[in-house]
């Protein structure tokens, strides 16, 4: 059985198989919206994707952020996100992105998809909504489903035979305790009380696990992920320079401006055009510190038992953007603080390891 692990976040989609892993913006561009008679081929750093039987062609890849924000179909949203067409397309296109790296079709005829959901969204209705993307529902049963997708004019056929959905913090937890071959390597953590701070693009998820089980008494889901920080920077830019800044440009400048995840050595420049550049380092510093301070306050409010917590695990794609020094100085005196390695991929890597352990036990 082949494992495809998917973490389709509000801002970034993380994908993993035995051959490859990807981090791609959770946004599509409809070819029809950007193609003109003057267009020359596909844009840079995107794949061209299409579901067989559907006339719409989409671009997906890191290059989609080169388009104006009004051209992007993004999955950022709350409430009915899992029923939106763009969310379903991202999941199906993820099968093709991972599937193209396999040489043998037989490897794609028995695929186990493992996907994560925020704990606040982890209900039976949402679990079933995700399963329906990949499998055929027959009453209460889910049957295997074959997906046929073209990617860069190559047809990819993927038969999904099993789907597992996991609460998101389980991904980071399993990434810490299981090795890449499915071996448990850090058993002492399993019995501990672990606070997981998962800072994503649209949400900040605060959860606790004790003896590897979620403790519902200490959890919350906040709609204050990286997008909140980017919006705060945009508002500050408008106030200082009168700029109606592009949110995606702000996202790129912050991610690219960070020097080896070290905030104090970083420089941030907003490029409006080749001749209009604004050094906004001090402005970004101020907003990151403000954002971090708000995050700290939310953790203290949610985890009122901090003295009982053995470790705070900080993960998610935004974990590298916060002021780590401020964070560690606040919590490090009473609780061990650990920023996960490669935090953007921690959840999806854990999903993959969970499925590996699960499938090996069959």
**How does pLDDT run across 208-260, given as a tens digit for each residue?**
999 989 999 999 999 999 999 999 999 999 999 999 998 888 998 998 888 66
Q: Which two tokens stand for residue 169?
A: 């913090």
Looking at the domain assignment, is residue 47 inside a domain?
Answer: yes
The answer as to whether 326 is a domain residue is no
- Residue 173's SS3 state is helix
**What's residue 37's pLDDT?**
46
State the chain's mean pLDDT as an integer: 92
Distance, in Å, from the CA atom of 108 to the CA atom of 3, rounded to the nearest integer, reads 9
pLDDT value of position 36 = 66
273 domain residue, yes or no = no
Please write the tens of the pLDDT for every residue from 129-147.
999 999 999 998 999 999 9
**Domain count along the chain:** 1
* CATH code, 10: 3.30.420.40
Question: Is the residue at 296 inside a domain?
Answer: no
Three-state secondary structure along the chain? CEEEEEEECCCEEEEECCCCEEEEECEEEEHHHHCCCCCCCCCCCCEEEEECCCCCCEEECHHHHHCCHHHCEECCCCCCHHHCHHHHHHHHHHHHHHHCCCCCHHHHCCEEEEEEECHHHCCHHHHHHHHHHHCEEECCEEECEEEEEEECCEEEEEEEEEEEEEEHHHHHHHHHHECCCCCECCHHHCCCEEEEEEECCCCEEEEEEECCEECCCCCEEECCCHHHHHHHHHHHHHHHHCCCCCHHHHHHHHHHHCECCEHHHCCCEEECCCCCEEECHHHHHHHHHHHHHHHHHHHHHHCCCHHHCCEEEEECCCCCCCCHHHHHHHHCCCCEEEECCCHHHHHHHHHHHHHHHHHHHC
Q: Does residue 354 fall inside a structural domain? A: yes
pLDDT at 79: 61
Query: Quick one: pLDDT at residue 185?
Result: 87
Domain that includes residue 49, residue range: 2-170+348-361
Task: Answer yes or no: is 55 within a domain.
Answer: yes
Copy the structure tokens of residue 19. 């051959």
């Amino acid at each position: 059985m082949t494992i495809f692990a998917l973490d389709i976040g509000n801002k970034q989609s993380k994908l993993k198989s035995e051959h490859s892993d990807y981090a791609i913006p959770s946004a599509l561009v409809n070819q029809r919206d950007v193609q003109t008679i003057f267009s020359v081929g596909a844009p840079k750093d995107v794949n061209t994707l299409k579901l067989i039987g559907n006339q719409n062609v989409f671009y997906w890849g890191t290059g989609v952020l080169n388009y104006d924000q009004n051209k992007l179909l993004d999955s950022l949203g709350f409430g009915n996100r899992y029923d939106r067409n763009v969310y379903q397309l991202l999941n199906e296109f993820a099968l093709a992105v991972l599937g193209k790296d396999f040489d043998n079709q037989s490897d794609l005829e028995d695929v186990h998809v493992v996907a994560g959901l925020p704990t606040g969204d982890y209900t039976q209705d949402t679990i079933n909504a995700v399963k329906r993307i990949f499998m055929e529902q027959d009453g209460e049963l889910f049957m295997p489903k074959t997906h046929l997708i073209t990617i860069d004019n190559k047809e990819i056929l993927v038969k999904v035979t099993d789907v597992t959905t996991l609460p998101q913090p389980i991904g980071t937890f399993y990434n810490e305790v299981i090795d890449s071959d499915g071996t448990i390597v850090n058993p002492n953590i399993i019995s501990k009380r672990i606070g997981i701070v998962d800072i994503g693009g649209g949400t900040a998820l605060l959860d606790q696990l004790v003896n590897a089980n979620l403790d519902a008494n200490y959890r919350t889901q906040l709609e204050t992920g990286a997008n909140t920080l980017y919006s705060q920077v945009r508002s500050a830019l408008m106030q200082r320079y009168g700029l109606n800044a592009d949110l995606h440009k702000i996202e790129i400048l912050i991610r690219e401006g960070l020097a080896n995840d070290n905030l104090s050595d970083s420089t941030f420049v907003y490029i409006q055009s080749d001749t209009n550049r604004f050094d906004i380092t001090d402005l970004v510093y101020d907003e990151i510190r403000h954002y971090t301070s708000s995050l700290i306050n939310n953790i203290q409010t949610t985890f009122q038992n901090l003295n009982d917590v053995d470790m705070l695990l900080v993960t998610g794609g935004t974990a590298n953007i916060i002021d780590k020094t401020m964070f560690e100085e606040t919590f490090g005196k009473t609780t061990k603080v650990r920023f996960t390695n490669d935090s953007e991929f921690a959840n999806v890597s854990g999903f993959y390891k969970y499925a590996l352990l699960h499938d090996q036990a069959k």
